[in-house]
Amino acid sequence: MSPRLSIAALAVALSLAGAAQAQIYYPQGYGGYGWSGWGGGATPQGDIARGMGAFAAGAGYYNQETAVARSINADTAVRWNQYWYEAQQEHNRKYYTRLAEKQKTDNKALSDIYLRLRDNPNQYDVYRGDALNVIYDELCSPKVYIRGLKSAGTTFPGEMIRDVPFQYAAAAVTNTVHNVMTKGSAPAVLRKEPFKADLDKLRAIATKFREEDQSEGRIDPETLDRAQVLIKSLQDKVAANLAVGTKDRTDSDRFLKSAMGLCKMLHTPAINVLLAGVDKHPETTVGDLLIFMKACNLRFGAADSPRQKMVYDQLYPLLVKLRDEAFPKGLPAAPGDANPNPESATEFLSGMEAKAVDPNAVPPPPRPQ
């Protein structure tokens, strides 16, 4: 078995020696960060650190050994997953409201749209991906352990997965960037000179991220580059002006490292690279598919071709069966007002080793004795 740790795998295997000491590790013996690495290793306690496959791709990691998650506490990953679920629910609530307005329904209640998509979708709802995403979101609840469901082992041909029209779920990331950078989570020292002007520019870019995603469905790479250059400039300025070991320095480093990590997640991964090798796994399961999507921050997109529609026709009833098994006593209510705490994202990303967030990062000097 190869000694290299897989960025592709990223399925967390938690140390059960105690919650406070539990860490997340990559399982060994996988290659790449695409499909071939997924499967195994997940546990009910942490399942999978959501979106970390996309993060690894955005950070430029392939087969090399890295510490993207080796230093992340298991409890931190659980809070990250809870945050990400709530952030997606917040986006879903707004999306269902826009659907109701677009369809000019008499009753524009969010719950009516949600219940129709969940309980009585039409063919258009399925082919648009909305009906599948409703189930996917329910199964992404932190209360659900996908691998523990009997129907998760139902096989789904690997060659068909290549024809699923996946869509990168950037909305939760852009909302997180906006919340982290604009809602007071920046330490007080960064709101003063000589840092204030740069922080204001960074906040403006965070707002532009969200606007670009809402209007174009993608982030302009130039905007993303400007953000990363600005974060690096702020990091250098902090290093030059704040003493190591002080609270201001520690808080600033923590905030800027998480900001850089979120920018890495905004790099939309190449879906064809993530799917590399999937057609070589004929015994792929529905559970593996959902865990792969969760890890790479993917959602179901619109099926346009006859082949894609045929794939959805076969996949949708399998998801319904899995969802019914996960919620035998009743389904969740429609997404309500969510209040995701961006501090969970800051805590998770700032806990990574510096090179996991930025391969060019220089390790901080040791704290003075």
d(CA 281, CA 157): 8
- Please state, in angstroms and as integers, the Cα–Cα distance from residue 258 to each residue in 102, 262, 325, following that order: 36, 6, 37
Residue at 190 is within a domain = yes
Question: Total domain count for the chain?
Answer: 1
Q: What is the pTM of this model?
A: 0.78
Determine, yes or no, domain membership for 113.
Answer: yes
Inside any domain, residue 281 = yes
**Residue 34 covered by a domain:** no
In a domain, 366, yes or no: no
Question: Is 16 within a domain?
Answer: no
The pLDDT profile of the chain, 369 residues, written as one tens digit per residue, is: 333 323 333 333 222 222 323 333 333 322 333 454 443 334 443 456 777 777 776 666 543 334 444 545 677 777 888 888 888 888 888 787 777 777 665 445 667 888 888 889 999 999 999 999 999 999 988 888 888 899 999 998 888 988 999 998 888 888 888 888 877 678 999 999 999 999 999 999 999 998 888 887 778 889 999 999 999 999 999 999 999 999 999 999 999 998 998 888 888 777 776 777 777 777 788 988 898 888 888 999 999 999 999 999 999 999 999 999 998 877 766 666 566 777 888 888 887 767 667 666 555 445 444
Q: Are the C-beta atoms of 83 and 50 separated by less than 8 Å?
A: no
Q: How many H helices and E strands in the chain?
A: 15, 4
Domain presence at residue 216: yes
The reply to whether 29 falls in a domain is no
Nearest to 165 by CA among 300, 313, 305, 316: 300
Measured CA to CA in angstroms, residue 39 lies from 8, 10, 51, 146, 266 at distances of 10, 9, 15, 12, 25
Residue carrying structure tokens 């529609």: 309
Identify the domain containing residue 111 by its residue range.
Answer: 81-354
